[in-house]
Structures are given as structure tokens and as C-alpha cells.
Amino acid sequence: MVETLEYIKEYIRFFRHSKNIDIVFYSESESYYIYFKSIIKILTKNNSIKICYVTSSNKDPLLTETNKKFPVYNIGSKTIRTIFFATLDVKVLVMTMPDLNNYYIKRSNNSVHYVYLPHSLSSTHMVYRKGAFDFFDSFFCAGSHHIKELRGSEELYNSKPKNLFKVGYPRLDDLILSNKIEKKSYSLLKQIIIAPSWHSPGIIDTCCDELIQNLLEIDFKVVLRPHRDSKKLLPDRLISTYEKFEECKNFKLIYNDIDNIELKKSAILITDWSGAAMSFAFGLCRPVISIDLPKKINNVDFEKHKLESFETEIRSEIGTILNPKELSKIKNVIDNLINNSDKICKKLFSLRKKKIFNLSKSAGVGAEYLTELVNK
């Protein structure tokens, strides 16, 4: 009850100031500020654009940051959030959460322009539910695959066309920049990160322990970084894995790597269908081993699109696909990826230039589009 009162106070505080706000950035958890960060940084230099940040997490790092140049509000994730969205009256709302208007998060009756900012390079028509983006006015596309998929969806369902802006992926640019600063050949690194998706069947509930054991036996440090939802969906399985390897000095289980510290220490990433694979490959120019498990399909109409997903199309180009029944061969696979590091790095560098819009410039492009939307 005390917590609910605090959210009410925050909502009232926001409402009192909302007439002076042009753009709201909404974050559904503490993990999503990183996707807005570089765009917000540019916008705060423009004194004519008034922004604010709204979160639903008590753990959001911005709540305790002291040098903020914009107001921050915490509205929780229940009733007050529903009221907030229903009564919102600003020019633009930017969010990374899909399914607007399909469940309890509804569009306001006021003339708000809703912008979707992707939090991965994954396709829009396979891992996301049917109609996940239908009620957004604009979509910040990371690459041409997003445009092809979204226009195909609009045609399939005869839905209202959206503004599809060729922006790129600011989170990827952050990773590219950090890799320039900390440049190191991945062949010298002795760590591998396992970053599975949350879906089932996936690495966590099929072959995780065997995979870790094989990696430890070839003298690599192993970091297991499951998707945050796996902690809720597969808690017993994760506890079992942790208990099995917790005494091993070369094993670590983490649930968050916001600053990509462990990612940047890793020579290779192993996944099933996580979008982290593409960020790792394109951001650091390092290879991915994809364990060949069933696709993560959440769209009941996926087959109707008659379009392969970007993550399926790209997975053989960014590394190696390995049958889960052949994990004993993983040493040979890793040796091959390490021994060909220079060739692989050049290939990934070239590939990301072809596939992703506005490399190293996406935040500026996104900020420019948002400014145009405000000034319309």
C-alpha cells in the first residue's frame, strides 16, 4: 500500500509537469535505459526539446543517478502504469516494449505519437507476437530486414502503414565504440559466454550442463548469462546448474551484464536463438556458436509471412551451427574459430556494414527524427 501511494505521488508529479514535456522515454525494467541512453544524451544538448524518463522498476539506475539533465518518474508496473498510459498527453512516447494496445498497455485518447525502438536486431515477425507493432506510429528500423518484415505485415493484415525510419541500432554502436577503445584480438581471450534465450526448448533445459562441462574441460573460463526471464521460467533448472558448477573457479553465473563487461572479455558467444548473438558478432566482430535447437516462434502467423527471419538467415554467416548431439566436437569447432580469427573478424566487419543502417551514427539519426516529430 505504501509503495502504491508512492507511485500515485509520482504520477501526480508527472501530470503536473507533463505540459512542459515533448518526449517521454518509457522503460519497463531497469535493463532498458541502455537502449535510450545515447539518443537521450544528444537530445539533452538541444534546449528546445524537453524530455523525461519514466520507469516501472525500483531498481532503475537512473533513480539514483545524481547528474541527470531531465526528470525521472517511477510509476510501477500495475494500476498506476495503466492509468499513466491511458491519460498520457505529450507529443512523442518512445518505448522498447512491444504489444502496444494488445494487452493492458493502451494508447492514450490524446494525440500522442508512439515510437518503437528495438532492443535487439531480431526480426519482428518470428519471436514477437502477431500484431506486436501494429499500434505504433513509427518504428526505428535497425536494418533493411525490419522494413521488409513490417511492410509485409501491413500488407498481410491490411493494417495502417507506419513511419519506418532507417535509424540503425544505437546499442550496437555503443558496443562498437567500446571495442575500439579496448581493441584486442579475440584469439587471445580465454573466456566463452553462453547467452541462451528464455524459450523452451532451449540450451537451459536441454544441454546446458553438458555444454558447460565440455567447455571447462578444454580450459576456458565459462560465463553463463541466461535471459532475465529464464530466472522466472526455469528457476529450478538454473539452480541445479549453478549448484553443479559453483565450486569450479572457471565458472560464473550472471543475470545481468548491462555494461557488457563479460561480453567483451569473451572470445566466442554460444546461444540458441538469442538476439545477443547478432550484437556480439556485429558489435565485437567475434564469432557465435549457435546450438541447433528449435526456432523461437511466438507469432502464430509466422508461416503466413513467407519470409525467413533475420536471425535464421544470418546465423551461419556469423559463426558455426552445432548439433546439440555433437557437443563433444566443440573443441574442434572452437579451435577452428580461434585459428581463423583475422579472417572471421574481417568478414563480420564487412557483413555489419551491409546489414545495419547508420553504423556509429544511429543515435544522432534517431535524435534527429524525434526532433522532427516534435516540431511537426
Query: Does 202 share its domain with 304?
Result: yes
Which helix (H) or strand (E) segment holds residue 190: the answer is none
C-beta separation of 122 from 98 below 8 A: no
The cell numbers describing 40, all together, are 537521450
Please write the tens of the pLDDT for every residue from 41-96: 999 998 889 999 999 999 999 999 888 889 999 999 999 999 999 999 999 999 99
Query: Does 187 share its domain with 322?
Result: yes
Query: Does 93 share its domain with 131?
Result: yes
For 69, how many CA atoms within 13 A lie in the half-sphere containing its CB? 11
Count of positions (residues) in the chain: 376
Residue 332: give the domain boundaries.
174-355
Query: Exposure of 287 by Cβ count < 10 A (0-12 exposed, 13-18 middle, 19+ buried)?
Result: buried
Question: Taking the C-alpha atoms of 182, 183, 189 and 191 in order, what is their torsion angle to the nearest 10 degrees?
Answer: 50
Per-residue pLDDT band for 251 (boundaries 50, 70, 90) equals: very high
Query: Does 85 share its domain with 179?
Result: no
Please write the tens of the pLDDT for every residue from 260-305: 899 999 999 999 999 999 999 999 999 999 999 999 999 999 999 9
pLDDT at 139: 98
Please, which residues bridge with residue 277 across strands? none
pLDDT at 136: 98
Query: Does 143 share its domain with 32?
Result: yes
- How many domains does the chain divide into? 2
The mean pLDDT of 148-166, rounded to a whole number, is 97
Please give the full DSSP string across 237-255, using - where no structure is assigned.
HHHHHHHHHTT-TTEEE-S
SS (H, E, C) 131-199: CCCCCCCEEEECCHHHHHHHHHHHHHHCCCCCEEEECCCHHHHHHHHHHHHCCCCHHHCCEEEECCCCC
The cell numbers describing 327, all together, are 557437443
- CATH code of the domain containing 186: 3.40.50.2000
The mean pLDDT of 164-185, rounded to a whole number, is 88
pLDDT of 227 higher than 90: no
Query: Does 156 share its domain with 275?
Result: no
* Spatial separation of the C-alpha atoms in residues 167 and 356, rounded to whole Å: 9
- CATH code of the domain containing 57: 3.40.50
Please, which residues bridge with residue 218 across strands? none
pLDDT at 178: 87
